[in-house]
Homo-oligomer: A and B are copies of this chain.
Amino acid sequence: MDSANIRDRRKIQKPMGVPEIVVGRLPLYLRALSHLPEEVKAITSDELGNLLGISSAQIRKDLSYFGEFGKQGSGYEIDYLRQQLQQILQVDKQWPVALVGVGDLGQAILSYGGFQERGFYIDVAFDVDPQKFGKSFNDIQILPVSQMSKFIAEHELLIAIVAIPSSVAQMVADELVQAGVRAILNYAPVTLNVPEHVRVYHIDPAIGLQNMTYYL
């Protein structure tokens, strides 16, 4: 964030008890705002709703948990709303992330260009294959998984991406949590058991497909 942004920043109150489903929509709003043409400076909740297939009433209600972001009639000032959403979601900074697993999927994640502008960077990757140790992908070093706990604890990493087979996912998750990780993006198609203070977000393409077949 540049100094202008910092100067403009008003402290966001993080209200208690915002439903998870509401928090879950904020990243969608942020992504939609980020993809608008640069010349567009303001957007109404109707327009944003049309882009996302969400009702404008829902959008206004969701945002109202966090404050007053729009002006009656003229809608939301895009730069301002983006900045506020980034603050609310705490992605107005860059989070270092550990990647576990550098197979096909892990390599795709390492090459993915979309993290940086959205608040994240892969700081380190771990694998079990000795042939990969010491190599690097896009300047990210690959370390033996045996060094994972120590590295994560020392660097105080809070976020990990797990791209490993289901059979070892729970074991690795336990180790990550033990080392201090509090947010896991899990690509293994298995439900991870973690303590209450840890969050897991599943990326599971079959779940995505099954969400749609109901309607076919």
Determine whether the beta carbon of A52 is less than 8 Å from that of B191: yes
Q: Complex formed: what's the CA distance from A31 to B206 in Å?
A: 9
Given A158-B216, A191-B51, A210 and B30 contact (CB-CB distance below 8 Å)? yes
A211 and B90 contact, Cβ closer than 8 Å, known pairs A52-B191, A109-B205, A189-B114: no
CA distance A103 to B21 in the complex (A): 33
On chain B, the residues within 8 Å of A28 by CB distance are 191, 207
Q: Which residues in B have their C-beta under 8 angstroms from that of A89?
A: 210, 213-214
Residues of B within 8 A of A201 (CB): 208-209, 211-212
**A106-155 at interface with B (beta carbon < 8 Å):** 107-109, 111-112, 114-115, 118-120
From 23 to 45 in chain A, residues with beta carbon under 8 angstroms from any chain B beta carbon are 23-24, 26-28, 30-32, 35
**Copies of this chain, how many?**
2
Which B residues lie within 8 Å of A111 (CB)?
A: 103-104
* Chain B residue with the shortest CB-CB distance to A14: B214
User: Distance in Å from the Cβ of A184 to the closest Cβ of chain B?
Assistant: 8
| A120 contacts across to B, CB distance below 8 A | 206, 209
Are B97 and A209 in contact, with the CB atoms below 8 A? yes
- Whole-angstrom distance between the Cβ of A124 and the nearest chain B Cβ: 16
A211 contacts which chain B residues (CB < 8 A)?
Answer: 23-24, 27, 199, 201
Q: Whole-angstrom distance between the alpha carbons of A79 and B161 in the complex?
A: 32
